[in-house]
Every structure is written in C-alpha cells, then in structure tokens.
Amino acid sequence: MNRICEVLDIEVPIIEGGLAYVGNGLLAAAVSNGGGFGQIGSAGRTPENFEDEILIACEATKNPFGVNIPISQHTDFTPYLERIKKHKDKIKAVSLGAGNPKELIPFIKENGLKALVLTSTAFHSAKAENLGADIIICEGYEAGGSNGPSELTTFTLVPQVKRVVSIPVVAAGGIVDGRSMAAAMILGADGIQMGTRFVATKECEAHDHFKAAILEAKDDSTTIMTRMLKGPLRVLKNEYAKQVQVTEKNHPTLEHILPMVRGTYNKLSMFDGDIQGGFMSCGQVASLINDLGSAETVVQQISNEARQLFRTSDTLGF
Ligand SMILES: Cc1cc2nc3c(=O)[nH]c(=O)nc-3n(C[C@H](O)[C@H](O)[C@H](O)COP(=O)(O)O)c2cc1C
C-alpha cells in the first residue's frame, strides 16, 4: 500500500496544500471526497472562522482531512491550537510550514494527530524527521506562495530529500496533472501536494477574478517578489507586484516592504477580487490549468491519469 495513504488513511496520495485566505472547508471536503487529503488553511482566518470551516468540512465529508498552520504567519497561534485540540477527533493531521516546527510537533503528537512538515531543503527535511514529523512535504521553487530561500526546484529537491529521510515524502510545486504526479513519484515521492490547481476549482472560495486570472495565465505569468528581504514569494504578475519590486529596488528595507505585503493586500486580490490592487500567490503551473472543475473530480482524474501512465510505461520508445 502507498505509504501516504497508509499514514493519512486515504485512497490516493494527493494532498491539498494549505491555502491562505482561500483554503475553505468545502474545498477540503471535496478533495477528501475524491479520495485525497483536503486541508483547511488558518492563514488569513480568525480562530473563529477557522473553527467554522472545520465544522463545514466535517458536515461535507466522512473522509479524513487536515489543517495547515504556517507558523510565521501568525503572531499568536495559540487560539488556533485550542481549536485543533477541541476538534482533534475530527482532524487527522496538521501541516506546518513557514517556520521552525520544533515547538508544535509535540503538541500535534500529544493530540494523536499526524505531523506533516513543509521543507525546501534536504537538511531541513532530515531535521524535521528527527523532530518527529510523520510526513515531509518538500516544496520546490515552482510553487505558488512562499518559497524556500535556497530556490531548489521540485525536480532536484525530491531525490535529495529521499536520500536523507526514511519517512514518506510528498512532492509539492509544479504538479498539476497525472503526468507531473507520475514524474514526481518516479523521482521518489510517495505522493503529491498541489495548491494552484485546487484554487482553480468550483469549491474553492477564491474570487472568480483570481480564478479567471489563473485560467488566462501563460507559462511566464508568475514572478518572484520579496526575495532579498522576506524570502521569495511567487505571485501572478500584475501592477501591484511590479510596484513591490520597484520599491524593493529603490528602498530595500523591511520598513518599506512589510507594509506592502501585509495580508490585507493578499486578501484584496485573492478573496475580494481586486486583481490589480494586491498580490495573488500562484504557481508556475497556472498555464496548464484549463477548467474550473470540481476538486473531487480533479483528484480522481489526476490519480487515474497517473495510474494509467504507470501501466503504459513501455511508451518510452527506446
Ligand atoms: C493561493 C495560495 C495560498 C497558499 N497559502 C499557503 C499557506 O497558507 N500555507 C502553506 O503551507 N502553503 C501555502 N501555499 C502553498 C501550497 O500549500 C502548496 O504547497 C503549493 O501551492 C504547491 O505548489 P503549486 O502551486 O505549484 O501546486 C499557498 C499556495 C497558493 C497558490
């Protein structure tokens, strides 16, 4: 049996990454109903709203799902942990990113949950395994949102992470269909995580303007902001991203940049639909997305396509 499916008690090793502002309960439930593993994001949500979305997901699926805590995005994550503890019988796993997971892994394990840790280097993956992580999610530079400062791509990262850990490894960044899923698994991943693909689904609560921008994207429609000051952030190119980049060049201090990359500007574009007034996290795969299907169908199609490709692996032609 697939090791990710075993740990998370799911049918196919496809995980929905935590999605700040737009990772809602109905989306998580749809991914889990498709046999994958949906997650409710906590970034951009009040603790109360986070709890509401957990309850919505419970109503909408009987299958396991998880929640995401991007550590440095919260000034105080205690109220979110309280909600996780309160609903620990409904949640299967907590994924941790954007910070040191050392403090939180014991909390997750004490509550009988699985700890998924996002990494972007082999070094940090080995460290996370030593701290007690159950699954490593290694994310390459192609990915939407915050990227690791080493800027390793998924293609190079996965085999290097596999070499240093013995727990299951999930590949994230640049995966969008059965071909990329199969490729990640040939590189050694036990499963995959997607973010951008799941934003472009009917259950995701992202604004229609943001979803339309993903459908219209070309191969070079994303760019990196805040590389030097805050770490790389992959977003769709727009007027706002350009302004941030110009400010970074002319006034390279946190004092100038931090106010421009506050969550309110992320919400303004991704949730409220003002697609020039703020910034939109988005991966390099956007141009490969052509429809706003149901997340449940997306999971089924991608897993079926990957299975089919493995069955017909004699198509190499040499
Ligand atoms: C709109 C958006 C918001 C994201 N927010 C978060 C987040 O809050 N926490 C997190 O761990 N990752 C976040 N990510 C990263 C995803 O969970 C996932 O790892 C990444 O999107 C995978 O790469 P892909 O976009 O090529 O599929 C976000 C990605 C996107 C596109």
pLDDT per residue as tens digits for the range 207-235: 999 999 999 999 999 999 999 888 899 99
Task: Decide if 189 is inside a domain.
Answer: yes
- Three-class HEC string of the chain: CCHHHHHHCCCCCEEECCCCCCCCHHHHHHHHHCCCEEEEECCCCCHHHHHHHHHHHHHHCCCCEEEEEEHHHCCCCHHHHHHHHHCCCCCCEEEEECCCHHHHHHHHHHCCCEEEEEECCHHHHHHHHHHCCCEEEEECCCCCEECCCCCCCHHHHHHHHHHHCCCCEEEECCCCCHHHHHHHHHCCCCEEEECHHHHCCCCCCCCHHHHHHHHHCCCCCEEEECCCCCCCEEEECCHHHHHHHHHHHHCCCHHHHHHHHCHHHHHHHHCCCCCCCCCCECCHHHHHCCCCCCHHHHHHHHHHHHHHHHHCHHHHCC
Report, as ranges of residue numbers, the positions in the chain whose pLDDT lies below 50. Answer: none
Query: Does residue 26 sit in the same domain as residue 162?
Result: yes
Half-sphere exposure of residue 89: CA atoms within 13 angstroms, side-chain side: 1
196 alpha carbon to ligand 1 midpoint, in Å? 7
Q: Which residue, by CA, sits nearest to atom 10 of ligand 1?
A: 18
Q: Considering the domain boundaries, does residue 211 fall inside one?
A: no
Residues 171 and 270 in one domain: no
The answer to whether position 213 is within a domain reads no
Residue 40: predicted pLDDT: 98
How far apart, in whole angstroms, are the C-alpha atoms of residue 318 and residue 315?
8
Q: How far is the CA of 92 from the centre of ligand 1 (A)?
A: 19
Same domain, 138 and 271: no
Residue 99 lies inside a defined structural domain of this protein? yes
Same domain for 173 and 234, yes or no, is no
Do residues 31 and 140 both lie within one domain? yes
Whether residue 217 is contained in a domain is answered as: no
- 269's tokens: 């574009």
Q: Which of 16, 19, 175, 299 to mutate to test the pocket of ligand 1 (most atoms within 8 A of CB)?
A: 19
Q: Name residue 84's beta-bridge partners.
A: none
Residue 113 falls within a domain, yes or no? yes
Question: Is the shortest distance between the CB of 142 and ligand 1 below 6 Å?
Answer: yes
Dist. CA 17 → ligand 1 center (Å): 5
For ligand 1, whether the C-beta of 145 sits within 6 Å is yes
304 and 235: one domain?
no
Q: Examine residue 241 and state whether it is found in any structural domain, yes or no.
A: yes
User: Is the beta carbon of 173 within 6 A of some atom in ligand 1?
Assistant: yes
Please check whether residues 234 and 146 belong to one and the same domain: no
| Cβ of 16 below 6 Å from ligand 1 | no
Q: Same domain for 34 and 90?
A: yes
What is the tally of structural domains in the chain?
A: 2
In a domain, 44, yes or no: yes
Which residue range forms the structural domain that includes residue 274?
222-281
**Domain co-membership, 228 together with 164:** no
Same-domain status, 143 and 229: no
Count of C-beta atoms within a 10 Å radius of residue 149 = 14
